[in-house]
Structure 1
Amino acid sequence: MSGLSTFRVDPRSGVGIAAQIRTRIAFLIADGELAPGDRLPPVRDLARQLGVNVNTVRSAYAKLDADGLVRTRHGVGTVVLATGVESPHTGALPLGVNTVAVLVGGLNPFYLSLLRGVEDVAAEQGTLVLVTDTRDSPTLAEAMIRRLIARGVDGIVAVSVGGIGTNAGAPPIVYVDQPDRTGHVLLFDGHGAGYAATRHLREHGHERIGIVTAPLSWPNVREVYEGYVQAVGEADGRLVAEVDEFTVDAGRAGLERLLELPDPPSAVFAAGETLALGVLHEAKSRGIDVPADLAITGYTDSPAAALVEPPLTMVSVPAREIGIQAMQTLAELIRGKKLRTRRKVLDVELVLRESCGSH
């Protein structure tokens, strides 16, 4: 059970600890590392290993039980159930339940909201949802796709995941937030988001506006960056802090880089919520007054952005709605409905709070 023995939770990811545990175990079951009949570690043992409350582990186990992946029996423990998959894409679970996999680039509040939309539709249809975190690794994403095909999942929702090529025998796939894809694709208006967040800062007198962004080689990130460029008129490469991932620590590192400039920016657009939280934390740790000395806007949104001090001005995306639409589309494809391929772009909205100095 090496997949659990090396597992660690991330309390700063913005995703509940119980959800992280449940997601990891569900993946290990889908991947075959946890086989039918295997026992999960006792609740107290796993809680001690992860350094979390026993009730958190109980909650994760209870959700896995409700999903039909495990069964907990007094005196026996928590045992992995057989999925009953007979052949690819037949949905041959014990009660005729289809299984779909959701691949996400990483676990953060944005994905959590999207997953709720997917699971809302899946629950109505009795569909089992397995969630796989690809950790923003194209190589890992491709490997996961192959394994999921081998396990016979009925469909896949791929969210902000690179590295997925054409795989023989693949089930229906709906792509989310991947502008470089063809087929069934649902997108946010990333260009509009980058433009709106940056244009708002310009309208309030800021001329030197920096950006903290994930790798510009990622197509969804590039669109947001191009919106930023349109708003500033001409990008100054010194004001572009490109970081490796969407994390709070990466956001802090990005702002640190911008503040080292001889003429640092008076405002920063962070092209991701966790990046924006990192920018804010770094600014406050240095005694910088936000927004008096540094205005901040960000992209995507969640309750966390409204709870920090000062609350962050963000471009909000309809994450739950896109999850609903992705699952609805996938369900129709699984049922064999012939759908015309489409490329749908969902609108975004600038939510004004205090971090930009205009609210």
Structure 2
Amino acid sequence: MTGVELDRRLRVDPDSGIPLWVQLRTQLEYIIATGELAPGVRLPAVRVLAQRLSVAVDTVRQAYDGLAQSGFAETRHGVGTRVTLPARSATPGNDSWDLRQSAKVDTALLGLLADGVTPAIAGRAVQQRLAMLRLGLRVSFVGVRASVERYAATLSERLPDGVGAIKALDIEEFRRAGVDDVTHVISLVFHIREVEERLAEQPVRVLPLTSELDAEVFDRIRRLGAADRLVLIARPATRQSYEALIQERHPGISAMEFVPDDDDDSLRAALPHATAVLHTSAATPLVRRAAPRAELIELRHAPSERSLTQVLSTLRADWDLMIRLQQSTLT
């Protein structure tokens, strides 16, 4: 995505009641989380973006600071602000277990097994890795209730033979009770830092997954006519992101009435008169009740293929390593 394309995607609404810097940060987080801006891409300079969007310099600076705090960007003097993905937090005790060290442990373990060295003497890091691998692959996907089952099923379909299905875990349940007896937890990048902090003391590999709107969504939107009355239902913080993305793909689309997905009264008033409703997964139950005659288009996300390939590659590598470990133990 070029700087000009990014400008077209970013929109701020001074009358929305949401601070402009929050609107801007949320849109940028969405664009990064869905893989449209890859790690390492340089964001426009603060003053340049402020001028393009006709907002104050401090508005852009606050948005960039918010991105840095949530792990989506980093700013260096003389270099500018570049895109990152949320990394493992600096939780005390977490230094002994992160993805880079896990990879090093994998390499060391394979070398030790090839040399005939007993895994028991490999050291604390390898012992921790062994404890996880001996469980087999026990994978959970942590996400919001409206879509967690779908993501878990999509991932399960492409797992190696012999690996059990991925368990779906609602993030609210995860926040209350955590998760036990697992070796891997997959979650969208929006939640990854929270998940990693919660599991910092457990020998669990946490894998981030990026997502994008399903292509079928755009196919259905393309068939809508100019006479259709369209209603968009989403969280206020993501409104501009959805509107910009839809209008970018379909410039001629009719104006969409927006209704927040947590405003039940406004939903009930707007939906009976709609001919097509574009809505988030979380709003599905209410939309089905309030707009039985309208065409319902769920704004369904799906794993981006690149991110999905990376996650599955890690799971397959761990599965192969687990099999080799078990074979070594038996001989």
Alignment TM class, shorter chain as reference? 0.3 to 0.5
- TM-score by length of structure 2 reads 0.42
Name the larger-Rg structure: 2
Q: Please, what TM-score do these two structures have when normalized by structure 1?
A: 0.39
Between structures 1 and 2, the one with greater helix share: 2
Greater RCO (Cα-Cα under 8 Å, separation 6 or more): 2
